[in-house]
Structure 1
């Protein structure tokens, strides 16, 4: 079976869109028990967040909880993304007219969590503050995000408190390990699924959703690796030419090669019908650059 490249939720969101697993994860994060009947999933599905969907938002009583799985390289701007997210969530929950009423409008109290599983070395737990990005000190606005490193470790407190998250973390690590051994992603995903099924790691889930797991992991990995290769090729060429013609000129050429490679990836994704904001997120190009690329190539967006 060849892995199907399609536009899907992340595996993280697929797993934890189940209320029972979500309750288990929330207990692991906070220590608070919650019944599945008390959970209302409120995950945004609008165009504003139309990238590889790795976010989950849900309401418990008078609390809005927003979870994001943060993949690949570390991003210090997650607090800003959370601000955008909660603003859009409130606007959908409350409506435009209510905010103009004379009585105080009660809104759910938010909680923000990021679960990081990229390759960069990050602490087991840290807090991100929106105020860290302010150009000068201000007390008018703050937003705090609890960030957990969920790369597999036997000593991880969070992973040991949530069975489903531990299973997910082990699956991701096994996929990476098997891929490093064989450089064959199809084989690596199959072996990781088989490992989970034979070691009682959400065995039923991986048995029932094998094809979906295969598709989601392959798609995420395909985009991530394409960008890594573009960067490696650009830097390598820049270094080689830097030795021959001078470091600055060589590195500049390497950056140009990297940009050409990234533009090629963006154009390929446009031709596959991927949304422009997803392409911008994936390639780190600006939205205007992606839109211009689409127009220059006669593609609608």
Structure 2
């Protein structure tokens, strides 16, 4: 969760009753209901046998979904709001609805959610301190170090930062490096693309750079979950990269 500006999707089930989908974002996206619809459809399709849908005569029970977004971008948004899929429809209809509960987790002393969740409040303070340092003109690395020191000295997840300072620093710092790498890949893709295949060249350039980043992280021994979240590559793609380069996976 210490990645900022990289989507961090989580889904889990509570027995056979509920399925919870959550996403952490630093760019406001009013299309989250449509994205969540896509996510839940893919999850259901993985869990259910398509033949059952065709031939089973009794009702198929499925876990009920809940959708949440945790937002900490720079755009001013309410502490809590609901986004409805129906708002995107070309005309009013009651045939389909999906509601996403969106929570602004930017630090505020009056944020009820942060007041009720100590860990989330600490995370929000840490992110805000990094941003404050950058706004003051500090280099990213210095801003991160300063934010970590602040949290440790003010007993804000002090034990966690004490034990995981190096990991947190690498994760937060890597976000900016990865973003720049993808920007460079995009530029390379445009340069090498022919006039008619410019878009395809751009996509190939981005993918090539992303695969290089994944390989580098594999060599450094980072957790697979961190690599998939950072690159948007699937587990199968990561496994293939490791195999092609003779790495143990």
Asked if TM exceeds 0.5, the reply is yes
Structure 1 unpaired stretches of 5+ = 1-9, 14-50, 229-259, 282-301
Give the match's secondary structure for 2:45: helix
Looking at structure 1, the residues matched to 202 and 210 of structure 2 have their Cα atoms a distance apart, in angstroms, of: 13
* 1:84-124 deviation line (CA, Å, top 9, x unaligned): 11111112223333323111111111111111100001111
Alignment partner of 1:146 is 2:137: no
Give the structure 2 partner of residue 43 of structure 1: none
The CA distance in 1 between the partners of 2:156 and 2:50, in whole Å, is 45
Q: Is 2:70–2:104's contact at 8 Å kept on the other side of the alignment?
A: yes
Alignment map for 1:162-181 (pairs within 5 Å): 162-181=117-136
Distance in 2, matches of 1:205 and 1:265, equals 39
Q: Are positions 1:194 and 2:149 aligned together?
A: yes
Q: CA distance change for structure 1 residues 265 and 152 in 2, over 3 Å: closer, same or farther?
A: farther
The match for 1:63 among 18, 22, 38 is 18
Greater relative contact order, per chain length (Cα 8 Å cut-off, separation 6+): 1
State whether structure 2 residue 162 is matched by structure 1 residue 207: yes
C-alpha distance in 1, partners of 2:76/2:131?
16
**Residues 65-214 of structure 1 correspond to what in structure 2 (within 5 A)?**
65-71=20-26, 73-100=27-54, 101-214=56-169
Q: Distance in 2 between matches of 1:185 and 1:108?
A: 43
Query: RMSD between aligned alpha carbons?
Result: 3.3
Structure 2: distance between partners of 1:184 and 1:58: 37
| 8 Å contact from structure 2 (residues 133, 143) kept in 1 | yes
In structure 2, C-alpha distance between the alignment counterparts of 1:197 and 1:265, rounded to whole Å: 42
SS of 1:112's partner is strand
Per-residue CA distance 1:20-69 (angstroms, 9 max, x = gap) = xxxxxxxxxxxxxxxxxxxxxxxxxxxxxxx9451111222311111111
2:182 touches 2:206 (CA, 8 Å); kept in 1? no
Alignment partner of 1:136: what SS?
Answer: coil
In the other structure, the counterpart of 1:244 is none
Distance across 2 between alignment mates of 1:222 and 1:129: 35
| TM-score, normalised by the number of residues in structure 2 | 0.70
| TM score, norm. by length of structure 1 | 0.58
Report if aligned partners of 2:79, 2:111 keep a CA contact under 8 Å in 1: yes
